[in-house]
Amino acid sequence: MLVVDVAEDSALGLQAGDVILRVGEREAATPERVRRVLGSYEAGEDIPLHIRRDGREISVMGRLGN
């Protein structure tokens, strides 16, 4: 899933242009799936995101706002 825009106060660790590959160990096949998986996390809980940024696959640790 391509990240098009990121709110300035977002703590997910994403940037515009990132491609979300997995949230935790769950595939990010569609935007709806990503929203559903993110919704399974509690506010303040660490969320491992596996992304493609600038042609490289990396992992970032994000957090949902309160």
pLDDT for the residue 41: 94
**Residue-range domains of the chain with CATH:** 1-66 (2.30.42.10)
Residue 66 scores a pLDDT above 80: no
The answer to pTM > 0.85 is yes
pLDDT for the residue 3: 94
Give pLDDT tens digits for 9-60: 888 999 999 999 999 999 999 999 999 999 999 988 999 999 999 999 999 9
Q: What are 51-59's contacts with CB under 8 Å, separation 24+? A: 51/14, 51/18, 51/19, 51/20, 51/21, 52/18, 52/19, 52/21, 53/15, 53/17, 53/18, 53/19, 57/21
Q: Are 23 and 59 in contact (CB under 8 A)?
A: no
pLDDT for the residue 10: 85
pLDDT for the residue 40: 94
